[in-house]
């Protein structure tokens, strides 16, 4: 399920972004501050290049590139 970032409180959004950028495997390949990482992800959300998803089965949120999320308007054959 897709969750619009605007529906989260500023505190919840900040917490979600910080948790995301500090996960193992999200290294940028160079030293980047937590603030720079969170600003980058926040900008990606604002530009619509990334989205927040919620998995009802695991009850977890994630941030993914928009092009990796199946389009709701895609035609299924």
List, for residues 19-53, the tens digit of each pLDDT value. 999 886 656 567 788 899 999 999 999 999 999 99
- Regarding pTM above 0.85, the answer is no
Q: Please, which pLDDT band fits residue 13 given cuts at 50, 70 and 90?
A: very high
> What own/partner pairs with CB < 8 Å and gap ≥ 24 does 52-59 have?
52/2, 52/3, 52/4, 52/5, 52/8, 52/16, 53/1, 53/2, 53/3, 54/1, 54/2, 54/3, 55/1, 56/1
The structural domains of the chain, ordered by start, are 2-68 (1.10.10.610)
């Amino acid at each position: 399920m897709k969750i619009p970032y605007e529906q989260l409180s500023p505190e919840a959004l900040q917490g979600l972004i910080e948790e995301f950028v500090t996960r193992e495997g999200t290294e940028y390949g160079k030293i980047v501050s937590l603030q720079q990482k969170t600003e980058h992800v926040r900008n990606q959300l604002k530009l619509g290049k990334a989205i927040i998803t919620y998995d009802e089965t695991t009850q977890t949120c994630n941030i993914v590139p928009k092009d990796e999320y199946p389009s709701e308007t895609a035609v299924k054959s």
